[in-house]
C-alpha cells in the first residue's frame, strides 16, 4: 500500500540532509513500527509523506498504491487516504470538534466525488465512533484540543482517524508524553481500527507502545537511513540493550 524507495530529503532553510536513502514497503493490513534514536529522521519521514512544508525531496519516490504522493498537495494526500496523527496535536480555539470533524469528512468526500454527509447522519456516525473508542460526549462539544490533556489530544486524533477512515495511518510518536493508562486507551483505539484494508506506520521511541500495538515489522532508523528490519523481537532487543549495540553490529 505504501512504497518508499531511496528517499533523500533535506531541510530547505538549512540545506541540511535529513533522510539519506529510506526504503520501505507497507502492505495492506500491515502494521510497521519505526524506531530509532533522536535525530534519526523518523518524524521527518512522516512529515514528508504527509506533505509538510520546509522539506525538499532531492531523490527517490513515495507512492500510496499507484499514486505518486510527492506530486500531491497535502489535502490531496488526505483525500487519497493518508492520515498523520501528530506528536503534538495543535489547539484550534473557536472551532468546535464536531464542526472540525464534519468539515474534514465532507471535504474529503467531495474531493473523491462522493456525496456529503448530512448533519443527522454525521451525528450518528460520530457518536458511534466515540462510543467505540470510549470517548466522552463532552469532548465532542469542546473546541479542538483546547484545554485537553495530553491523553485527550491523542484520543481525539484517533477519533479523527476513525471518522475519516484513512487507508494509510501514520502515527508520529503518539505515545509521547502519555502515562500508562492514557497510552493503553490510545492503543486500544488504534487496535479497534486495524483491518485488512488499513495499514499503519507507527513511529515511536519505546517498546512499551508496541506491547499494546503489536507490529508485523519493525524498522530501526539511524542517521537518515533504515539500518535494520525485523519482527517484534527487534524492538525487544532495542528495549533491552539500547541502540548502541545494534548500531555497532550493523556498522
Calculate ∠ Cα 245-171-141, nearest 5°. 145
pTM of structure: 0.91
pLDDT at 248 over 80: no
How far is residue 200's CA from residue 215's CA, in Å, rounded to a whole number?
9
- The residue among 150, 235, 216 whose CA lies nearest residue 185 is 150
Architecture of domain 2-250: 3-Layer(aba) Sandwich (3.40)
**49-63, 118-132, 141-155 — which one is most confidently predicted on average?**
49-63
Q: 7 phi and psi, to 5 degrees? A: -80, 120
> What is the separation of C-alpha 10 from the centre of its chain, rounded to a whole number of angstroms?
21
Residue 80: the pLDDT is 93
Q: What is the sign, positive or negative, of the torsion defined by CA atoms of 120, 122, 124, 130?
A: negative
- For the chain, domain boundaries: 2-250
How far is residue 192's CA from residue 177's CA, in Å, rounded to a whole number?
22
Q: pLDDT tens digits for 135-170?
A: 888 889 999 999 988 888 888 998 999 999 999 999
Q: What is the distance in angstroms between the CA of the first residue and the CA of the last residue of the chain?
A: 30
Residue 250: the pLDDT is 67
Number of neighbours of residue 61 by Cβ within 10 angstroms: 15
Q: pLDDT tens digits for 177-223?
A: 777 877 887 888 888 889 999 999 999 887 788 888 889 999 999 99
DSSP single-letter state for residue 198: B
Residue 251: the pLDDT is 64
The answer to whether the CB of 193 falls within 8 A of the CB of 31 is: no
Band the pLDDT of 55: cuts 50, 70, 90.
very high
Of 7-11, 84-88, 93-97, the one with minimum mean pLDDT is 84-88
Amino acid at each position: 500500500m505504501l512504497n518508499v524507495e531511496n528517499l533523500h530529503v533535506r531541510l530547505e532553510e538549512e540545506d541540511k540532509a535529513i533522510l539519506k536513502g529510506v526504503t520501505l514497503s507497507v502492505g495492506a493490513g500491515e502494521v510497521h513500527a519505526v524506531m530509532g534514536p533522536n535525530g534519526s529522521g523518523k518524524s521527518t519521514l512522516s512529515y514528508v509523506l504527509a506533505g509538510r512544508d520546509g522539506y525538499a525531496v532531492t531523490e527517490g519516490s513515495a507512492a500510496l498504491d499507484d499514486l505518486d504522493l510527492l506530486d500531491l498537495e497535502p489535502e490531496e494526500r488526505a483525500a487519497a487516504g493518508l492520515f498523520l496523527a501528530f506528536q503534538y496535536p495543535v489547539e484550534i480555539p473557536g472551532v468546535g470538534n464536531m464542526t472540525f470533524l464534519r468539515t474534514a469528512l465532507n471535504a474529503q468526500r467531495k474531493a473523491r466525488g462522493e456525496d456529503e454527509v448530512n448533519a443527522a447522519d454525521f451525528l450518528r456516525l460520530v457518536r458511534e465512533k466515540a462510543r467505540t473508542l470510549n470517548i466522552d460526549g463532552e469532548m465532542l462539544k469542546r473546541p479542538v484540543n483546547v484545554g485537553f490533556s495530553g491523553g485527550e489530544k491523542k484520543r481525539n486524533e484517533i477519533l479523527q482517524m476513525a471518522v475519516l477512515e484513512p487507508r494509510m495511518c501514520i502515527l508520529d510518536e503518539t505515545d509521547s508524553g502519555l502515562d500508562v493508562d492514557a497510552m493503553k486507551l490510545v492503543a486500544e483505539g488504534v487496535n479497534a481500527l486495524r483491518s485488512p484494508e488499513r495499514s499503519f506506520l507507527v513511529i515511536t521511541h519505546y517498546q512499551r507502545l508496541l506491547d499494546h500495538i503489536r507490529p508485523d515489522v519493525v524498522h530501526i532508523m539511524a542517521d537518515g537511513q533504515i539500518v535494520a528490519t525485523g519482527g517484534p523481537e527487534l524492538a525487544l532487543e532495542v528495549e533491552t540493550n539500547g541502540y548502541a549495540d545494534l548500531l555497532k553490529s550493523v556498522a
